Amino acid sequence: METGFRKWIIVATIITSTIIELIDTTIVNVSINTMSGNLGASLEDTAWVITSYAIANVIIIPMTSFLAEKIGRKQYYIGSIILFTLASAMCGFSNNLWELVAFRFFQGIGGGALLSTSQSILFETFPAKERATASGIFSLGIIIGPSIGPVLGGFIVDNLSWQWIFYVNIPIGILAALLSYIYLKPTKKSDDGRSIDWPGIFLLAVGVGALQVVLERGETDDWFSATYIIVLTILSVVSLAILVWWELRIPFPVINLRVLKSTTLSISAIMTFVLGFGLFSAVFVFPLYAQRIIGYSAFQTGTMLLPGTLMAAIISPFLGKMLQSGLRPQYLIILGFGMSAIFGYMMSGSNLETGDAYFFIPLVCRGLGAALLIVPLTALAVSELKPSEIPQGAALNNMMRQMGGSFGIALINTYIAHREAANRTALITHVTASDPHTMARQEIYIRNFMAHGSTYLRAVQQSLGALENTVVRQSFLMSYMDAFLLLAILNACCIPLVMITMKKRAKVKAGKIALPDAH
């Protein structure tokens, strides 16, 4: 526990580290085209820059509690910051794509550790009666990072070069490492003599890594039409099945799956998965919709996300205090899923004529919904666990959020592609020579093109192209609307799950909302 100036220096350091880690999950997305051209690689190959970071993140998150015990939390945290910073520098210095992909993997290893270890350090900094407030403060990084990534990336790419996406981490990382070294309390590594669960670590890395590759690359390579996707799917299923068997068999596993005997934790993990699905999918779908369909720039799109993010940042600390005062987390979770469902439903009703003003309310609902879910779900997940079980329970909950994000982006991307084909088929049946509306629109196009100097035959050809462009644009519009509606349905379906946990009347006590080693 810390007080005064030292306490708030630690808070600022921890939140900054969390934000830069999560910014790097989305900041690269808007610079893929630029990287592809500069490095002389295809878009499909360049996408591995995103994939490698996501794989490393999901592999390391469930192991952070174990590694922090073995190495010592302060040493592990500072080492992770240094690894993240050095890898960021090397990403900027990379001369070819595969160098960049490799250094992004190491950046993800350091970054994934920052996310989880930051949480435990923050909780240790606050006294027990203020730990719900600490949970609210920590949620700021989770909400702000993914949301400002696209706008920051768009600004950097438009005004500097893609390398600066990575260079900006260097001074922040150096400062965070120095402050951590000066202000964090020393911690000793565990000397209990427990053997390292190397088989568990290997199975986790192989199973989760293979699964992440399948999710990240499946849509690009037409899923099971690609042999390597089939092989990795089988490898993932077999590895994860053996991992479950092995971790339940040994006394000191790297992931203690026995904590899932808690019904509240299991249900919370499912809801956290949906939270990750919605949180990352919304940040993925809305920029695509705004840029591809409406024509906004990356920077404009990012600025539209800021009001909701700022609202979430304002209320997050107060949510922790509300939980600390005795408010049951289920009430906030129901409201959070409700507001997230409203976001999806309202977005599904937008169209090509929709302006900025319409998007303001649903995007604010998205931000508030995320804030109302992150803090209470963390509290609810560990509310029935023993103190010794809470670190692993919280780590599993964090992993489920990241996995939900990976599943969400992969499945939403696939869903949009499939709906686009179905919507195009439905629309094209009405675009015929016998349809009076189609013929009337074509006549308008022909007259317009002729008025601008085209011959009649040339104008007819141009009108057919214009009709095709209209069909394509409308097909994609309808597909994005379907995707937003799917997000609304998924969030609404989680409300009955919350009701189940309410029947158990799980009480979240002051010392159990956020615990010293929670990851």
Q: Could you report the per-residue pLDDT of 14-40, keeping only the tens digit for each?
A: 777 777 777 777 777 667 667 777 777
Question: Between 239 and 388, whose confidence is greater?
Answer: 239
Closest C-alpha among 401, 515, 433 to residue 131: 515
The span from the CA of 175 to the CA of 441, in Å, is 61
Tokens of 280: 């990352």
Angle at 290 between CA 409 and CA 487, to 5 degrees: 40
Closest C-alpha among 101, 119, 83, 109 to residue 28: 101
The span from the CA of 67 to the CA of 60, in Å, is 9
State percent of the chain over pLDDT 70: 86
The span from the CA of 503 to the CA of 512, in Å, is 19
Q: What pLDDT was estimated at residue 265? A: 79
Residue 251 — left, alpha, or beta (φ > 0 → left; ψ -120 to 50 → alpha)? alpha
Closest C-alpha among 146, 132, 136, 20 to residue 85: 20
Q: Could you report the per-residue pLDDT of 186-216, keeping only the tens digit for each?
A: 776 666 666 777 888 888 888 888 887 787 6
- 113, 77 Cβ separation under 8 angstroms: yes
What mean pLDDT do residues 68-84 have?
A: 85
CA atoms within 13 A on the CB side of 308: 30
Q: Does CATH place domain 257-411+484-507 in 1.20.1250.20? A: yes
Mean pLDDT taken over the chain: 78
Question: Between 132 and 397, whose confidence is greater?
Answer: 397
pLDDT band at 90 (very low <50, low <70, confident <90, very high): very high
- DSSP single-letter state for residue 192: S
Helical (H) or strand (E) element with 141: helix 131-159
Q: Is the pLDDT of residue 510 over 60?
A: no
- 115, 22 Cβ separation under 8 angstroms: yes
Q: Is the pLDDT of residue 290 over 50?
A: yes
- Single-letter residue type at 203: L
Tokens of 517: 């080693």
Residue 105 — left, alpha, or beta (φ > 0 → left; ψ -120 to 50 → alpha)? alpha
Q: What pLDDT was estimated at residue 323? A: 76
* Torsion angles phi and psi, residue 409, rounded to 5: -65, -45
Q: Is the pLDDT of residue 342 over 90?
A: yes
CATH number, domain 1-192, options 1.20.1250.20, 2.30.40.10, 2.20.25.570, 3.40.50.720: 1.20.1250.20
What mean pLDDT do residues 373-389 have?
A: 73
Tokens of 261: 């005997």
Tokens of 75: 């040493």
Q: Is the pLDDT of residue 383 over 80?
A: no
10-26 residues labelled b (16+ CB within 10 A) or e (exposed)? bbebbbbbbbbbbbbbb
- DSSP symbols for 244-283: HHHHHHSSS-SS-GGGGG-HHHHHHHHHHHHHHHHHHHHH
- Single-letter residue type at 20: I
Q: What pLDDT was estimated at residue 131? A: 61
The span from the CA of 250 to the CA of 485, in Å, is 44
* Torsion angles phi and psi, residue 397, rounded to 5: -65, -40
pLDDT band at 508 (very low <50, low <70, confident <90, very high): very low
The 10 Å Cβ neighbour count of residue 62 is 26
What mean pLDDT do residues 64-87 have?
A: 84
